């Protein structure tokens, strides 16, 4: 199964509307430096074991620079999630949470 790519504007719109899980797959140290509002931190290396704990709703996946996100979103899609890759936090044009 393939995960679609969402541009930041569409991802932001969906985040504002609610009903999605925003998933940060970076390390806990990277997450602590700042993250998207409401994001849940689940490092990429723990994804396969912990994905079952995610709510059954669309998942917006991001990483730091855009390399890990496509892999993680694709993995989630193959597990049956409605998953979207929203790119890397370095290119995110909206506010972050500390």
Question: Which residues form the catalytic set?
Answer: 63
Ranges assigned E (strand) in the chain? 4-5, 21-24, 40-41, 59-63, 83-88
Question: CB neighbours (10 Å) of residue 26?
Answer: 23
Give CA–CA dist 52/91, Å, rounded.
29
Phi and psi angles of residue 32, each rounded to the nearest 5 degrees, phi first: -65, -20
């Amino acid at each position: 199964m393939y995960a679609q790519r969402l541009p930041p504007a569409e991802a932001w719109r969906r985040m504002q509307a609610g009903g999605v899980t925003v998933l940060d797959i970076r390390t806990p140290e990277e997450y602590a430096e700042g993250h998207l509002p409401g994001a849940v931190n689940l490092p990429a290396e723990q994804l396969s074991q912990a994905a079952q704990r995610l709510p059954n709703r669309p998942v917006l996946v991001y990483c730091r620079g855009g390399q890990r996100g496509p892999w993680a979103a694709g993995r989630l899609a193959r597990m049956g999630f409605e998953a979207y890759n929203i790119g890397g936090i370095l290119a995110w044009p909206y506010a972050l949470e500390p």
